[in-house]
Amino acid sequence: MNAFSLNGRKALITGANAGIGQAIAIAMARAGADVVCAGRRSCAETVSAITDAGGTASEIIVDFSDPMAGVSLFDGAGIDILVNNAGIIRRADSVDFTEEDWDAVMDVNVKAVFFTSQAFAKELLKQDRKGKIVNIASLLSFQGGIRVPSYTTSKHGVAGLTRILANEWTARGINVNAIAPGYIATNNTQALRDDPDRSAAILDRIPAGRWGRPEDIAESAVYLAAPASDYVSGAILNVDGGWLAR
């Protein structure tokens, strides 16, 4: 048995149209999973990358700005693995931060994660099936950050959700873990990479000496979805080039 194989498994990845979500979808398909790519924009590019390489994938349009948008995704769908990757960020000084920006981030990054996970778990428990949930947390699940008050709060929330759901569901066959990415070259970090001083300060602290790539997160997600991690639950895996060790 290959402990890292996802053959015979079906995975749903949210926010799979680009960045980390796209990389996770491609990596899970490469490991053998039938992948469902969910996003508020078309995931056709991700699906094509998978099918062109001989994998199996499909797409659905889901806008998680409605936190309940994911609750109907699992009925009879045969999903074994859920990756809660969809997320947004809004930047402003805390003294200027608006209620609209606060609510928008919390709805996508926390409320949608909980209710999507709940719907997934209900379907598995109803059928007495096992499954894996992989949440995408952040270094800001542990730190404060700068000018991202709702994002920081939401990612602390993802860490807490990961732990409570693991406490309640692991004994019932559903492992719940999270990955805390470091500074990854995605759309969410474009503003930081475009600021020469901020980018230099970030790179100076990363022992690996580079920005992370989405693919750096993807293989960790495969591990947390595969049999290799069957005794891992409630963990938050830092994939940060050594940032938190400094």
Pick the CATH number of 10-245 from 3.40.50.720, 3.40.220.10, 3.10.20.30, 3.20.20.140: 3.40.50.720
Give the tens place of pLDDT for each residue, 28-73. 999 999 999 999 999 999 999 999 999 999 999 999 999 999 999 9
Q: CA-CA distance, 172 to 67, in Å (whole number)?
A: 25
| CB-based contacts of 143, cutoff 8 Å, min separation 6 | 152
Runs of H (alpha helix) within the chain: 19-30, 44-52, 99-106, 112-127, 149-169, 190-193, 196-205, 214-225
Asked whether the predicted pLDDT for residue 188 surpasses 80, the reply is no
Confidence of residue 177 (pLDDT cuts 50, 70, 90): very high
CA gap 125, 127 in Å, rounded: 5
Residue spans of the domains in the chain: they are: 10-245
State whether residue 154 is helix, strand or coil: helix
Angstrom CA distances, 12 to 51, 73, 208, stand at: 16, 9, 31
How confident is the model over 118-158, as pLDDT tens digits?
Answer: 999 999 999 999 999 999 999 999 999 999 999 999 999 99
pLDDT per residue as tens digits for the range 6-23: 999 999 999 999 999 999
Q: Which of 151, 183, 223, 231 is catalytic?
A: 151
Beta carbons of 69 and 39 less than 8 angstroms apart: no
Share of the chain above pLDDT 90, in %: 93
pLDDT digits (tens, 9 = 90+) for 106-119: 999 999 999 999 99
Report pLDDT for 187: 80
Respond yes or no: is residue 183 known to be catalytic: no
